[in-house]
Structures are given as C-alpha cells and as structure tokens.
C-alpha cells in the first residue's frame, strides 16, 4: 500500500511541489510512515509539464478523472472554478485536499470546510497565507490554548517591496511598481497586490482562524497603497515610522475588526524591520504575548515547501487514522463595520501660520472626540505664509477620523489636508 498524491495545476508552485515530492520521496515517506506515491499531475498544458522533466506517464489534462484516483489531492490552479469543482469532487471520492487557494477559501471557505467535514477528510491550506511561513499552523493549532487579541501581517511581498523601495531609493510609487515588475515580484497587472485584494483574502483567513469565527473577503475593509506618496514615505521616516501595507485582524469588545490598509509602523516595532519582498505576521495573544513569524511569502520553491508540508500532514493522518484540524467557528463573533475600527492616525496639513490657528485645529479634533498625542510644525515647502503641521492622535474610531478630517477641511485656517495615515503597532 502507498498513499497516492495527485497534483492539479503545474505552474510556478505546482512544478516545485512535483519536484520536492519526487526528490524528497524517501524522507517524506519516512515522515509519513508509509510510501508517498505521485500518481498524476494534471494541467491543461501537458507539453509544458512534460518539458519540465515530469514523467509523461504521470501527466494528464483530465483533472476531473485524476482527483478521483488519489488519497491526497493538491489543488494549485487558483481562482474559483474549476478549482472548487475539483476540490469538491476529490473530497466526495474520499481524498484529503491541500490547497493554496486563498481567494476561494476567503470567498467561499465554508463550502469547502463543510464538504471536508461531511466526507471525513482533511483540508489543509498552509500556503494560502504568507507562502512558506507556517502561520496557518501556528494560528490554527499553536494558539488554541490561548486567546488571540490581534494579528498584524505584512502578507503581500509585492507591496512591501514597493514601499521599501520608495523608502530606500527615493522612488515614487509608479517607478517602484515598475521596479517590482522588472524583478518579477509584481504581476504585469499589479492590481490585486497594489489595491490590497491579495492581502484582504489572507486577512479574512487569519481573522477566521484567530477568532474562531467565519470571516469572509466581503467582511474585510480594504485600502491599497495607490494613494501613498514619496512625501508620505519621507515624512514617515522623519517621525520615526515606516509605511507598511498591513492586514489587521483585531478582537475588540464588540466584535472583530478586519482590515487592510497602509499604515505608519513605529521603527521600534519588529514589523518595521521587514524589508524587501519578505512577509511577517505578528500575533498578540493574551497569555503568550507577542509572537512574530517571518520569511518568504511568495515564490515557487518557498510556497511549495508549505504545500508539501501539508501533504505530509494529510498523509500521516491517513496512516495513523487521525484527522487534521476542522474549521473552528464556534465563537461566532460578529464582524464590525469598517467605521468601528480603532486606530491612531497622523494627519499632515498645510495651515495658515498665524495666531489662533492651533486653537481652531485642536478644537476641531476635540469636537470629534479625538485626542491629540503630538503636534509638530515645520515651515511648509509650498506657498509662503503656510506651516506644515503634523498631528498624531491617540486611538480613534474610523468614524471619528473621517469626521475629523471633514471638519479640518472646512476650517478657513487649513489650506490643504495633505495626507492622513493610520498608525498601527502599539503593543497591547
Ligand atoms: N502576490 C503575492 C505577493 C503572493 O506579492 O506577496 C501571492 O499571494
């Protein structure tokens, strides 16, 4: 007897999964306690897979047939259909499923979790969040003796590279994106990364696992890095911060806040040191305190490492008669609307440089019930007679922040609200 493994989708990650399953078969089988056998690789482009050196006898373009002939099916097509259909067919025929499909899990995870539970098979998805970093295992299993309070993640390497390059090379966003494309981090169409959609799917998965509740993509309020300017990045450094695109999943008294947005992270926070295209996830738990995981969030070989690790877990469960973790949604905590999120924020504005200006501005913040933490004034680089004011606040709801900015824009002493960025990363 051996455990039959099928790989569906043989692109950048799939080809590396096939390679690792083949070259490491002795070690992997020893870890499983039974022989792992690659029984097929399905891809619409058979020739391309064969050209990679995969045994032609294993390669098929009939995924629907292959998924019914395996004990473990690795789904690496991505997207909704036909990936969902193949995964459901695999589970219905008794196979456990390993997938990296964050988009489908975030949009329609319950369909997959329910199908896995009904069939009594495993559903593993380590590679769906932060590539090689074993964050799914840590949040799903490593924290289940604790109460997670917040997860802050740099879970998109492309945008981290872009923001880091803007900071280190003084480039504007457009040129930094082009640089990321040249190096192969960003896609030809960088929308999903730049607008935060990729990070939002991962935020939904992290929030679901951390708070034992169903959180889907539609629950995540999402703002990408499109509005971040070179000036924002330079001012961040001047005020002791760095701009990062963060996925935030936070347990507030009334429910879960889950969001993706650019934020100022203090240079003293461990996430501030995450450079280039690397990813990191910072977990804060009641009893464990802070935990940070750091590593490669994308790329064929790193992501394949996470996928193959799931294959070993699923296979070992078959051998021992065990089961992997089920969906845990017992807490059923409500997801809060975006305006209930609480963050500090920093507003930069050009204001008249004359008597009484600060009094009017601080009154506008007080009226919105927003408390000022610090104020810094510099001569404005723009027209004469203006000052550049940088106000950092204490925590305020999104609703209060929006009301504050609207009130500031109405003041005759405010020439321009130049930029507003949330500040994240205060230790709980
Ligand atoms: N495009 C993603 C990133 C990797 O740049 O991190 C896949 O989720």
pLDDT at 426: 85
* pLDDT tens per residue, range 339-397: 999 999 999 999 999 999 999 999 999 999 999 999 999 887 766 789 999 999 999 99
* 297 C-beta closer than 6 A to ligand 1: yes
Closest alpha carbon to 349 in 267, 266, 412: 412
* 303 C-beta closer than 6 A to ligand 1: no
Q: How confident is the model at residue 143 (pLDDT cuts 50, 70, 90)?
A: very high
Q: Which ligand 1 atom lies nearest to the CA of residue 187? A: 1
Q: What percent of the chain has pLDDT over 70?
A: 100
Q: What is the mean pLDDT of the chain?
A: 96
Helix ranges, 143-252 (H): 157-169, 173-182, 191-194, 197-211, 230-238
* pLDDT tens per residue, range 78-99: 999 999 999 999 999 999 999 9
Token output for 48: 């391309």
Scored b (16 or more CB within 10 A) or e, 200-239 reads bbbbbbbbbbbbbbbbbbebbbbbbbeebeeebbebbeeb
Task: Taking residues 308-317, report their average pLDDT.
Answer: 98
The answer to whether the bond into 33 is cis (omega within 30° of 0) is no
* Cβ neighbours of residue 124 closer than 8 Å, sequence gap 6 or more: 96, 97, 98, 99, 310, 313, 314, 324
pLDDT at 418: 97
pLDDT at 313: 98
Query: Are 4 and 69 contacting, i.e. CB atoms less than 8 angstroms apart?
Result: yes
- Angstrom CA distances, 139 to 129, 260, 356, 371, 377, stand at 11, 19, 51, 34, 43
Token output for 120: 């009594």
* pLDDT tens per residue, range 232-252: 999 999 999 999 999 999 999
pLDDT at 383: 66
| Residue 278, Cβ density class (10 Å: 0-12 exposed, 13-18 middle, ≥19 buried) | buried
Q: How confident is the model at residue 129 (pLDDT cuts 50, 70, 90)?
A: very high
Residues recognised as catalytic: 202
pLDDT at 79: 94
pLDDT at residue 1 is higher than 90: no
How does DSSP classify residue 142? I
Tell the residue nearest (CA) to atom 2 of ligand 1. Answer: 156
Question: 155 CA distance to ligand 1 centroid (A)?
Answer: 8
Using most ligand atoms within 8 A of CB, pick from 12, 298, 302, 303 the residue to mutate for ligand 1: 298
Q: Which ligand 1 atom lies nearest to the CA of residue 102? A: 8
């Amino acid at each position: 007897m051996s455990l039959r493994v099928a790989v569906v989708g043989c692109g950048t990650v799939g080809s590396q999964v096939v390679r690792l399953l083949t070259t490491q078969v002795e070690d992997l089988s020893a870890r499983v306690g039974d022989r792992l056998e690659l029984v097929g690789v399905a891809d619409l482009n058979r020739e391309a897979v064969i050209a990679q050196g995969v045994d032609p006898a294993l390669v098929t373009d009939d995924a629907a047939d292959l998924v019914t002939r395996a004990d473990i099916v690795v789904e690496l097509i991505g997207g909704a259909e036909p990936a969902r259909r193949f995964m459901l067919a695999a589970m219905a025929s008794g196979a456990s499923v390993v997938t990296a499909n964050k988009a489908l899990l975030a949009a329609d995870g319950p369909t997959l979790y329910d199908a896995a539970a009904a069939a009594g098979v495993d559903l593993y998805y380590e590679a769906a969040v932060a590539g090689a970093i074993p964050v799914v295992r840590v949040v799903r299993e490593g924290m289940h003796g604790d109460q997670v309070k917040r997860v802050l993640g740099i879970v998109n390497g492309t945008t981290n590279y872009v923001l880091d390059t803007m900071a280190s090379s003084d480039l504007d966003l457009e040129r930094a994106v082009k640089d990321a494309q040249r190096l192969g981090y960003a896609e030809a169409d960088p929308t999903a990364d730049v607008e935060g959609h990729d990070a939002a799917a991962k935020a939904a998965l992290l929030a679901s696992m951390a708070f034992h509740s169903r959180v889907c993509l539609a629950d995540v309020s999402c703002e990408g890095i499109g509005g971040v300017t070179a000036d924002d990045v330079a001012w961040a450094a001047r005020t002791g911060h760095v701009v990062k695109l963060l996925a935030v999943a936070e347990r507030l008294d009334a429910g879960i806040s889950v969001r993706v947005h650019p934020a100022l992270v203090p240079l003293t926070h461990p996430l501030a040191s995450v450079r280039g295209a690397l990813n990191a996830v910072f977990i804060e738990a009641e009893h464990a305190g802070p935990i940070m995981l750091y590593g490669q969030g994308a790329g064929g070989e790193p992501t394949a490492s996470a996928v193959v690790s799931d294959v070993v877990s699923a296979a070992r469960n078959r051998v021992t008669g065990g089961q992997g973790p089920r969906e845990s949604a017992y807490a059923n905590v409500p997801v809060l609307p975006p305006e209930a999120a609480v963050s500090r924020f920093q507003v930069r504005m050009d204001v008249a440089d004359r008597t009484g200006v600060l009094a009017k501005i601080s009154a506008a913040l007080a009226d919105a019930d927003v408390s000022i933490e610090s104020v810094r004034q510099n001569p404005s680089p723009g027209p004469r007679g203006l000052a550049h004011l940088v106000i950092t606040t204490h925590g305020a709801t999104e609703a209060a922040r929006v009301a504050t900015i609207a009130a500031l824009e109405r003041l005759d002493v405010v020439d321009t609200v130049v930029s507003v960025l949330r500040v994240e990363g205060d230790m709980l």
